[in-house]
Amino acid sequence: MDDRRNKRISTYLSRHLRHDPARIGITLDEQGWVGVDELVAAAHRDGFRISRAEVEHVVATSDKQRFGLVGEGAAARIRANQGHSVSVDLGLPPAEPPAFLFHGTVAPSLTAIRVEGLRPMRRQHVHLSPDLETATRVGARRGRPVIITVDAGAMHHAGHVFHRSDNGVWLTEAVPAAFLHFPD
């Protein structure tokens, strides 16, 4: 499968597994899972022709590992690993984060972040990267990236809860400005 087709499928899956499952007539369970066959059939009804093999290929080859796949055959289910704006409980246990995590953003967002900290916006959680490289890629999606360092260890010791998604992204409800370190 070519990269453009792969990207189109990944974008389609992200939209419907993270944000708008009802648009194509699917219902996610409490933890965000839906049957692969149900998803493929709904996509066909929506005019987006994909095969089970293409879905499996996108899940297996995604460098960001956005999706999880469990089960086999008719019992196979898929979900987005994080980034939901619809309410799901990913069932991730609380985890102790590393001392520092990173958040990639762009300069126009800094004024609000300095005052309000990091908020989940339309998503359920704030997403934090374990390394500078990943945070830089995330920030670059919206322009020239600015990397904010999060004192995750201090947050954790202050009682803030962290979760680590299956693809290594760290999730928390919000990051107060007091735990942020901005570049000079």
Each residue's pLDDT, cut to its tens digit, for the chain (184 residues) gives 788 999 999 999 999 999 999 999 999 999 999 999 999 999 999 999 999 999 999 999 877 788 999 999 889 999 998 888 888 888 899 999 999 999 999 999 999 999 999 999 888 899 999 999 999 999 998 899 999 999 999 999 999 999 999 889 999 999 999 999 999 8
My answer on whether 60 and 115 are in the same domain is: no
Question: What local confidence, expressed as pLDDT, does residue 139 receive?
Answer: 92
Domain boundary among 15, 48, 80: 80
User: Would you state the structure tokens that stand for residue 43, as one six-digit string?
Assistant: 């996509």
Question: What local confidence, expressed as pLDDT, does residue 90 receive?
Answer: 87
My answer on whether 24 and 66 are in the same domain is: yes
Q: Does 13 reside within a domain?
A: yes
Q: Does 48 reside within a domain?
A: yes
**pTM, rounded to two decimals:** 0.79
Domain CATH number, residue 24:
1.10.10.970
Domain CATH number, residue 152:
3.20.170.30
Domain boundary among 80, 113, 145: 80
Q: Does 90 reside within a domain?
A: no
My answer on whether 62 and 124 are in the same domain is: no
Residues whose CB falls within 8 Å of the CB of residue 139, separated by 6 or more in sequence, listed in order: 103, 104, 105, 106, 145, 146, 147
Question: What local confidence, expressed as pLDDT, does residue 20 receive?
Answer: 94
* Helix/strand/coil for 127: strand
Question: What local confidence, expressed as pLDDT, does residue 3 receive?
Answer: 87
Question: What local confidence, expressed as pLDDT, does residue 61 receive?
Answer: 87
Q: Does 75 reside within a domain?
A: yes
My answer on whether 127 and 168 are in the same domain is: yes
The total of structural domains in the chain comes to 2
For residue 58, the enclosing domain spans 3-80
Quote the Cα angle for 97-98-103, to 5°: 85
My answer on whether 131 and 171 are in the same domain is: yes
My answer on whether 107 and 176 are in the same domain is: yes
Rounded distance between C-alpha atoms, residue 69 and residue 182, angstroms: 37
